Structure 1
Amino acid sequence: MSATAVRPATTGTTTQRPRTRRKAGAGLGLVAWLAGIVFFLPIAWMALTSFHSESDAATNPPSFAASLTLDGYREFFGAGGGASPWPALINSAVASIASTLFVLVLALPAAYALSIRPVKKWTDVLFFFLSTKMLPVVAGLLPIYLFAKNTGMLDNIWLLVILYTSMNLPIAVWMMQSFLAEVPVAIIEAARVDGAKLPTILARVVAPIALPGIAATSLICFIFSWNELLFARVLTGVVAETAPVFLTGFITSQGLFLAKVCAASLVISLPVLAAGFAAQDKLVQGLSLGAVK
């Protein structure tokens, strides 16, 4: 009796599954593109309006075929006799960059202690950090204002640096704790056996491995600091005025000059967009770190 190979029966479902998955992936891709276009349209409209004259920008519905001009940008940079935006932009850069650096210096050892070398009841510590963000910002505005007034720190850019550091530190510790939890402990133990001290381990072992997470954390802290308005509006005047506060000065009793406001908004948004574009690969790696085992 000759042996005959038994061929498993095939059904149409096995061949239809890849097609179904491809159709589902194409559908999700289409939805993602549509969502991206919807979120991009206001930015595109703002950019187009910034190149229109005030009369064309004020038309309703907007005139997309109107002539283009750079008058809005000239007036924003003080060509029409207005205030120069450069001091406000420099103040925002100093406050955002300095506070972000301070946050990283403080958050990295804290995240190391809560992930790689966990302290007792480290979950309670994380909850305490998170609870500091539950206080409404307005509730702490008056005490901070009185403290700044009594210490002579009103209209001082370093007061904003201290505030932005304290505001972003809990978020940074939370984010970096999850990133540092993915660092192999064996590498740290090997460095410790070789005689490396804690600062050396943090700078030369932990930081390079967790660089995507550090980049994501720093970018988010930079964005939060750059866009902060309430404290900067109340605690600063002329010397330490930041870019968002300078932007509010375009809303006057004479009305809203739409083209100039759109030009100012686009210029003030460029540093954040440039930072996000420069760190986009590290940002994606950092936000997805630990998502796939």
Structure 2
Amino acid sequence: MATSIATPGSLTARSRRGALGLLAWLCGIMFFLPVAWMVLTSLHSEPDAATNPPSIGASLTLQGYRQFFGASTGVSPWPPLINSFSASLMSTLLVLVLSIPAAYALSIKPVRKWSDAMFFFLSTKMLPAVAGLLPVYLIAKNTGLLDNIGLLVILYTSMNLPIAVWMMRSFLSEVPVEILEAASIDGAGLPTVLTRIVAPVVAPGIAATSLICFIFSWNELLFARVLTGVVAGTAPVFLTGFVTSQGLFLAKVCAAAVCISLPVLIAGFAAQDKLVQGLSLGAVK
């Protein structure tokens, strides 16, 4: 009967895989611990949340969530949440409508000096957002767009468009040229090619781009804090309202942070397979 003897090379490879697996678990736990701690703190009362060191085994309560939904203050979080969802969704749709044809022109049907165009898109992200805050504020004030959702949609679209063009170009570069040539021979126009041929092939890339743009729009605070007020205030702006002159109430702030983070977490979990496929598209030849 033949017996297999483990060679030093196989043991070394197995040890290396085990060490990498352990390192991945440790990194995952390190990223997850702050979120778990935030959720646990949101379920504590304010005295238990403010203890130093924090009281892990304290009794749990939903008082922070009741305060977030206005049980004691009467302030509803639904208008800011709806504003954030509307601005994020509309800006993401606009980004896709603009970035897919642009990426198509820069990858499948490359225009002249396409690398210069790509650098221009990238250069728009080199300016710090705070540097453009004052000009944007003055323009919004003179045009009567302060405290307006439409202004946030325009800003979020312009902020996310360069990222979307770069991402979609990398995804569209993986589309087989033979499919597009066959479609052109059959007489398909550009709208047909984009909607019926290109879009299904790069669906994971579109999902990844959409999710990233939605998250960036949902989490944006600087412009929303300065350019909005009572009518168009977003969820992050509403969250900053929990830090008052009376102090920082940890349980209430953590409960608000959990509730505001849920939409993007749910979207991420719902599209996680497409997100992984999209972000890894073209990684393996």
Name the TM tier (shorter chain).
over 0.9
1:19 Cα shift?
Answer: 2.2
- The 5-angstrom pairing of residues 1-293 of structure 1 reads 15-293=7-285
Could you give the per-residue CA deviations for residues 197-221 of structure 1, whole angstroms, max 9, x where no partner exists?
A: 1001000000100011111111110
Q: Which amino acid aligns with 2:170?
A: S
CA distance in 2, matches of 1:278, 1:287: 15
What is the TM-score when the length of structure 2 is the normalising length?
Answer: 0.97
Q: Secondary structure at the match of 2:23?
A: helix
Paired with 2:258 and 2:235, the residues of 1 have a C-alpha distance of 12
CA offset at residue 264 of structure 1? 0.2
Q: Of the two, which has the highest radius of gyration?
A: 1
Structure 2: distance between partners of 1:22 and 1:122: 46
For residues 149 and 189 of structure 2, the distance between their equivalents in structure 1, rounded to whole angstroms, comes to 35
Q: Residues 109-142 of structure 1, C-alpha deviation per residue, up to 9 Å, x if partnerless?
A: 0000000000111011000000000011111111
Aligned residues: 281
Q: What secondary structure, in the 3-state scheme, does the structure 2 residue paired with 1:239 have?
A: coil
**Distance in 2 of aligned mates of 1:24 and 1:226:** 40
Residue aligned with 2:19, SS: helix
Letter in 2 for 1:96: S
Stretches of structure 1 that go unaligned for 5 or more consecutive residues are 1-11
Give the 3-state SS of the residue equivalent to 1:264 in structure 2: helix
SS of equivalent residue, structure 2 residue 60: coil
Aligned-residue offset at 1:59: 0.4
1:24-64 CA-partner distances (Å, limit 9, x unpaired): 11100100000110111111111001000001111000111
Q: Distance in 1 between matches of 2:12 and 2:267?
A: 39
- Letter of the aligned partner of 1:25 in structure 2? R
* 1:23 positional shift: 1.2
Following the alignment from structure 1 to structure 2, what is the Cα–Cα distance between the partners of residues 20 and 123?
A: 44
Q: Residue type matched to 2:26 in 1?
A: L
Q: 1:265 & 1:193 partners in 2: Cα distance?
A: 54
Q: Distance in 2 between matches of 1:21 and 1:278?
A: 35
Separation in 2 of the partners of 1:164 and 1:243? Answer: 15
Which residue identity is paired with 1:62? Answer: P
Percentage identity across paired residues of the two chains: 78
SS in 2 for 1:182: coil
Amino acid at match of 2:35: I
Residue aligning to 1:9 = none
Task: Report the Cα offset of residue 22 of structure 1.
Answer: 1.5
Deviation at 1:16, TM superposition (A): 2.5
* TM-score (structure 1 length as normaliser): 0.94
Q: Paired residue for 1:7? A: none
Deviation at 1:195, TM superposition (A): 1.1
Aligned-pair CA distance for 1:82: 3.5
Q: Distance in 1 between matches of 2:186 and 2:58?
A: 69
What SS class does the counterpart of residue 7 from structure 2 fall into?
Answer: helix
Q: Which amino acid aligns with 2:90?
A: A
In the aligned structure 1, how far is the partner of 2:236 from the partner of 2:131?
Answer: 21
In the alignment, the residues of structure 2 paired with residue 51 and residue 132 of structure 1 have an alpha-carbon distance, to the nearest angstrom, of 42
Offset, 1:260? 0.4
> Aligned Cα RMSD in Å?
1.0
Q: Distance in 2 between matches of 1:78 and 1:162?
A: 31
**Structure 1: distance between partners of 2:129 and 2:55:** 40
